[in-house]
A and B are shown apart, each in its own frame.
Chain A
Amino acid sequence: MMKKIAVVYGGSSHHHRTYKTSEFAKYINRLIPIRELETASLEGVDVLLVPSQTHLGLLKKNVEKIYAFANGGGTVVTLGPQGFDWLPSHKWEFRPTNFWWWLDKDPKSGLVLSAPEHDLFKNYLTLSDATWHQHGVYWPPDNCEVLVSTDDGGAVLYIDKVSTKGTWLNTTLDPDFHYGSYFMPATERFLRGFLPWLVEGKL
């Protein structure tokens, strides 16, 4: 089944490039201006994507609506560091961003591919496509599926099918922000795998 993705659209230059005008726009079925999210119908939406750098005040107003969407069997995807705790049982731990690991003598990004057999990493992405920096980690419930983690086990990208009646994919990575800023080539490779997978792959 081809899933229909709706993006909570903030109108920033980053969102504009990534979701509206770039090669990735074709994967997006609908842009919902965040100003209209409270009253928007989510009928027909399979995946609701909440981008990096979303307006925090308006996001707060829509948390219940997003949970209701998930509990109706929908899939919610959240990218980048969140500005407040709102994801289900995520246990966010802030970590200083490792901007400069790749300049070290013995460069280690600190990322581990925890689920190499998952469709996303078997058929769409490599770990290096997901490697630039991370802003922190999640410590989700045990029965969530962690796809990418830090070397001490914190979740950088995970799938939660247990906390609500729907599915959540949460990551501290912010590919849409960097691609939208014309910065960091790995983020482009990430989106080239991630978005087609979101539309057609096995979640």
Chain B
Amino acid sequence: MKANFIELNPGAIFAQRGKNKTRENFTNVDIYNLSNIDLTAYNCLVISGFADQDFLYEHRQIILDFVNARKILIFSGNLVTDWLPGGQLFVPKEINSYKDYEVSIHKQHPIFEGVLEDDMTYNKGVSGFFARGHHPTPEGAEVLLTLPGDTPITYIDRVSTKGTILVHAGSDLFGYMKPEINKTTDRIGPQLVKWVHEEIAMLQEEVTR
């Protein structure tokens, strides 16, 4: 089964930076239209931290029903209200040195295959762009990336719902800008799309089996 992405547009200017190649097939809808949209045709819902999280909280049942239909939810951002199934609120990291922002691959995973830790941590020698805190993970979640102290910044949750939830405490993993900045982080967006296709196939296969 083909993955069909739907993305909630939060309306903020930094979230309007044009479609890059990775998200060219995404259906982009205004967040405040969420309750008027028939989500049947879509199987991957993409939400960012720019989104109105009070609104998402009010409409959390729509989101829960979506994932429970054996679908995928991807959230990149800081969670500040309790709308995300299995999610816990963002905890900022106490920063004493630029090294506190160093990203580690906790477990090799196809989404981050060939991506160098330093390319995630540093931008022109400056750290702190990737993630500045974390969300405590639900029991049984698969942790992909961490900050020092085994702080989980990116995880996959197949436990809290009948579907799959990917949570990343940082900027949009699909990338808003042109992805081609000639670093290994360019690989993340396309590899994430590929993973979604495989995950959808797996979720659907479990239904038919």
- Please list the residues of chain A having a beta carbon within 8 angstroms of any beta carbon in chain B: 10-14, 16-17, 21, 33-35, 53-58, 80-83, 100, 103, 177, 181-183
Cross-chain contact B32 with A13 (CB below 8 angstroms) = no
Cross-chain contact B49 with A13 (CB below 8 angstroms) = yes
Cross-chain contact A16 with B14 (CB below 8 angstroms) = no
* Residues of the A chain whose Cβ atoms lie less than 8 Å from the Cβ of B78: 13, 17, 181
Cross-chain contact A13 with B77 (CB below 8 angstroms) = yes
A53 to B16, CA, bound (A): 10
* Residues of the B chain whose Cβ atoms lie less than 8 Å from the Cβ of A58: 11, 32
Does B133 lie at the interface of the complex (its beta carbon under 8 Å from any beta carbon of A)? yes
Cross-chain contact A103 with B125 (CB below 8 angstroms) = yes
Interchain nearest-CB distance for B129 vs A (Å): 8
**Which one of A12, A17, A181, A182 has the greatest number of beta carbons of chain B within 10 Å?**
A12
Cross-chain contact B10 with A12 (CB below 8 angstroms) = yes
Task: Please name the residue on chain A nearest to B51 by beta carbon.
Answer: A12
Interchain nearest-CB distance for A63 vs B (Å): 15
Cross-chain contact A55 with B52 (CB below 8 angstroms) = yes
- Please list the residues of chain B having a beta carbon within 8 angstroms of any beta carbon in chain A: 10-16, 30, 32, 49-55, 77-81, 90, 92, 124-126, 128, 132-133
Task: Please name the residue on chain B nearest to A103 by beta carbon.
Answer: B124
Name B's interface SS.
loop
What are 25 A-to-B residue pairs whose CB atoms are below 8 Å? A11-B55, A11-B81, A13-B50, A13-B53, A13-B79, A16-B53, A16-B80, A33-B54, A53-B12, A53-B15, A53-B50, A54-B11, A55-B12, A55-B32, A56-B13, A56-B16, A57-B11, A58-B32, A80-B13, A81-B13, A103-B126, A182-B92, A182-B132, A183-B128, A183-B132
* Residues of the B chain whose Cβ atoms lie less than 8 Å from the Cβ of A82: 13
**Which one of A16, A54, A82 has the greatest number of beta carbons of chain B within 10 Å?**
A16
Query: A35-B55, A103-B125 are contacts. A13–B14 as well, Cβ < 8 Å?
Result: no
A163 to B74, CA, bound (A): 45
A186 to B14, CA, bound (A): 20
* Residues of the B chain whose Cβ atoms lie less than 8 Å from the Cβ of A55: 10-12, 32, 52
* Top 10 A-B pairs, shortest CB-CB distance: A55-B11, A11-B52, A53-B12, A13-B78, A11-B54, A83-B13, A16-B80, A13-B49, A182-B132, A13-B80
